[in-house]
Structure 1
Amino acid sequence: MTYVADPRVDAYIDALPAWQQAICHQVRVLVHGVDPDVTETVKRRVRPYFVLDGNICALLAAKTHVNIFLYDGAIVPDPDNIITGGHDNKTARTVAVHEGETLNERALAKMLKQIIADNRAGGWRKIKKDRGEV
């Protein structure tokens, strides 16, 4: 797969322990594979973000896990129960992946596709407003 890598994202990932690097690379390839128009950047000084008509997801390595923040306004279904935090958050929910755990790529890819479709439709805030949920 070909995508334009942001060297700041490379630097963030390269500074992590090997197991966290592997998770971050896996997510990076997955999100770019979901839609070739996805771009990556750094926000909040160091955090890798993946964007397309709005935020899709971000990565944040913690001591014991990697957080994948999904910017979906909690409207994307999670039938595989991969969301581990932020269930009541109005902006983003998280998928935490710990050392030795396997990322459910199929479920995450499905959610990423829906987030991108929602972004292209005006974003989760507009969708919630149109549904009368705001």
Structure 2
Amino acid sequence: MSYLADPRVDAYIEGLPEWQRTICQEVRELVHAADPAVQETIKRTVQPYFVLDGNICALLGARKAVDIFLYDGGIVPDPHGIITGGHENKTARMIAVQEGETLNAPALLAMFKQIVANNRAGGWRRLKRENPDIPR
């Protein structure tokens, strides 16, 4: 896939152990596959973020996992149960992928596409405010 890579994101990923680099690169490819206009940046000094009309996700190489933070306000469905943390969080939820685990790429891609669509529709905060059926 062709996209404009941020060299700071490259440097972050390259500094991780091999198994984490593999997961991070897979997430990177998936988020860009969700929409070619996705941009990469660094926020919070060192953390890779992927954005398009708002945050989509962020990566964090933790000691025992790669944490993928989904900025969806908890409104994107998770029919495959890939969310591992932040179920009650009002801003972001998390998927922790540990060494030896595989990423459910089709499920994550579907979530990324929905987050992008929500961002383009004004963002999850606006969607929650305008739609009383969305859980708060």
TM-score normalised to the size of structure 2?
Answer: 0.97
Q: Secondary structure at the match of 2:48?
A: strand
Match of 1:2 in 2: 2
Q: Specify the code of the residue in structure 1 equivalent to 2:4.
A: V
Q: Tell me how far apart the structure 2 counterparts of residues 105 and 37 of structure 1 sit (CA, whole Å).
A: 19
Match of 1:37 in 2: 37
C-alpha displacement of 1:11: 0.6
Q: Tell me how far apart the structure 2 counterparts of residues 33 and 113 of structure 1 sit (CA, whole Å).
A: 9
Unaligned runs of 5+ in 2: none
The CA RMSD over aligned residues, in Å, is 0.8
Q: Tell me how far apart the structure 1 counterparts of residues 129 and 59 of structure 2 sit (CA, whole Å).
A: 28
C-alpha displacement of 1:34: 1.2
Q: Percent identity?
A: 67
Post-superposition CA distance 1:88-110 (Å, at most 9, x none)? 00000000000000100000000
Match of 2:118 in 1: 118
Q: Tell me how far apart the structure 2 counterparts of residues 62 and 50 of structure 1 sit (CA, whole Å).
A: 18
C-alpha displacement of 1:131: 1.2
C-alpha displacement of 1:33: 1.0
Match of 1:128 in 2: 128
Unaligned runs of 5+ in 1: none
Match of 1:78 in 2: 78
* Runs of 4+ more than 2 Å apart: none
Query: How many correspondences in the alignment?
Result: 134
Match of 1:56 in 2: 56
Q: Tell me how far apart the structure 1 counterparts of residues 4 and 37 of structure 2 sit (CA, whole Å).
A: 10
